[in-house]
Amino acid sequence: MHEAQSLTSWAAYGESMSSLLGRLQATDCAGTPLAVDDAFAAWGDMTADLRAHNGEAYFVGNGASAAMASHCAADIMKNGRVRARVFTDNAMITALGNDLSYERVFSEPLFWCMRPGDMLVAVSSSGASPNIISAVQAARRCRGLVVTLSAFKAANPLRGLGDLNFYVPAPTYGLAESCHAAILHYWVDRITAGAPAEAP
């Protein structure tokens, strides 16, 4: 776990957040750098196609990232009219963790549910959580699309596994999680702007 940085004032903290978001990096599945706006446009196109074909978006994360995954799944379904699912049910997580392994708490239900062309959004501050890496590998085996959000080390393993990868060089959990929340909200707001006005 990263140590908290020395904070001198609220304004300094806000400036740190702004600086980190300004240094957001995006890459494709080959690791080729993408302009951030182009990456968001591609993510938007992928999601619009998912909605048009009744596909589903899956979200995974641990701790605060799990809370963000749940929040984003609710928003993208309610406001963006995209089918969404998050694996945060306590009974399922504890059963899978106890009976199989914690590493498989996301990959196992993905094998059950994911269809070709569906999307996995994987959120991890470290980009190195075994259960998140396992989830991405499961999504690949299911022929799904993968979008990753990571932080901390630039060479974290998750960053090289998605069709689109968003990386912010945040050194602490608080900054990483806050940046990831901003990235997810921006994506949801873009999708919501193009969503049908009401449910069919």
Residue-wise pLDDT tens digits, 75-96:
999 999 999 999 999 999 999 9
pLDDT tens, position by position, 124-171: 999 999 999 999 999 999 999 999 999 999 999 999 999 999 999 999
- Nearest Cα neighbor of 126 from 106, 148, 105 is 148
How would CATH label the architecture of 23-193?
3-Layer(aba) Sandwich (3.40)
pLDDT over threshold 50, residue 49 = yes
Q: Whose structure tokens read 């609220």?
A: 10
Q: What is the pLDDT of residue 196?
A: 76
Tokens of 74: 């609710």
> If you write DSSP's letter for every residue of 64-79 in order, what string do you get?
HHHHHHHHHHHHHHHT
> What percent of the chain lies above the pLDDT cut of 70?
94
36-63: average pLDDT: 97
